Structure 1
Amino acid sequence: MIKIVVNRMDRYFQKEFALGEEDRQKLRYALEIILNDCSKLILLFLVFSLLDAPVNFLYCFLTLSLLRPFTGGLHFKTYTGCILFSGAFFYLSIFLADAIPLDFSGAVIFFLFSGLTMLSLAPIPAKTRPVHPPGKILKFKCFSMVIISFHFFMCFLTNKHPYFIHSIWVITLQSIQLFIGKGVLIYEKQNSNLEKNNGHAL
């Protein structure tokens, strides 16, 4: 369905503006990202509405939307895999926020863990995106630190407002996701090198 909409919009823009091939590919990529994200948001919102947690879902979604562009994370090849993982991620964020009380010492531990993770591992971009230059990577790390520092600080300044309680769990789980994402990259690189070595041996 999304590809059909993208194809129609692509034909429209091509007809109206006569885009070059490079601009056309960029437009198609942007349209696919926007439509995929919008459709996932709507579907997940409906699911969490049925679970009587639409506001908590929006809290978690907002925090992740602010943070993920600068940190990256796990990426899935299929739409189904992506939405299932996203649903599990948000459900776990909501469950932990409701099930485990967050005190000051726990928040400090989460902040230190998340900060060190962002500084050492972020960003982990999708394979379809170009490798960022060192200067841009540094900016992403700095933006990530500003975002997580703001949320942890505001959590106690606002006397643990529900949004900031959920955001801390989202940030912590996102940090864990970066560890998993880095492990996946290392595993894939090792497999790729092994296949090349085997190919040379043959």
Structure 2
Amino acid sequence: MQTIKNFLKKKYNLSNYQIAQLAFLCKSFISEISKIIIMGIIFYNHLSLYFFALLIMLVLRCSTGGIHFYTYIGCLTTSLIFLWSGIVWLPNITFPLNIKLLLILLCILICYYIGPICSKYRPPHSNKFIQKRKLIITFFIFLFSIALYIMPESSYLNVGFWIIILHSLQLIIAKFFRKEPS
């Protein structure tokens, strides 16, 4: 590892701080990819639903953030429980379409008014950034609700519905436990 750091210093004239940032980026990338692979193995029998759920989660988490676990095992375990609930367990619970759409509307409001919640290690977002994220998530969930209305029996949209519900619930929890600056 030190050889790589020395190479980067000499070849690209990077500072120790820049090298530390690159190391963090690489470590984060490897960590996330390994979690995706591990969960992909676990969800092998539901692989297409798993990837669809990941896609929905990606948009939700990038737009509104949420609860953060600062250890690999904590994040992996929570993600597994979250995805297992959204892919395997909760889709067995059915609601009439009008109730689903009402719940999705509630999720739009929750995500809009609570999000984004970022990691404690990130600097606060600007108001412009926050407003942009709120509009993105509102538009995304609205489009999802239209798709759900058109194809209410789709197993993919049923999984997406539960992922949005779970995400909104974890946003409420994150907001409740987050310590606001005085």
TM-score scaled by structure 2? 0.88
| Aligned residue number for residue 100 of structure 1 | 93
Residue 14 of structure 2 aligns to a residue whose secondary structure is coil
Residue 70 of structure 2 aligns to a residue whose secondary structure is coil
Question: Aligned to 1:70, which of 63, 77, 102?
Answer: 63
What does 1:1-202 align with in structure 2 at a 5 Å threshold? 13-49=8-44, 52-186=45-179
The alpha carbon displacement at 1:101 in A equals 2.2
Aligned length: 182
Distance in 2, matches of 1:9 and 1:153, equals 50
| Aligned residue number for residue 197 of structure 1 | none
CA 1:154–1:15: 2 relative to 1, 3 Å: farther
1:43 partner amino acid: I
CA 1:180–1:16: 2 relative to 1, 3 Å: same
* Displacement over 4 Å in runs of 4+: 7-12
For the Cα contact (< 8 Å) 1:72–1:122, is it kept in 2? yes
- For structure 2, the residue ranges without an aligned partner over 5 or more in a row are none
Distance in 2, matches of 1:13 and 1:147, equals 40
Residue 121 of structure 2 aligns to a residue whose secondary structure is coil
Residue 43 of structure 2 aligns to a residue whose secondary structure is helix
The alpha carbon displacement at 1:9 in A equals 5.9
Q: Percent identity?
A: 24
CA 1:13–1:167: 2 relative to 1, 3 Å: farther
For the Cα contact (< 8 Å) 1:57–1:94, is it kept in 2? yes
Map Cα deviations across residues 85-112 of structure 1 (whole Å, 9 max, x no partner): 0000000001345302243212222112
TM-score scaled by structure 1? 0.80
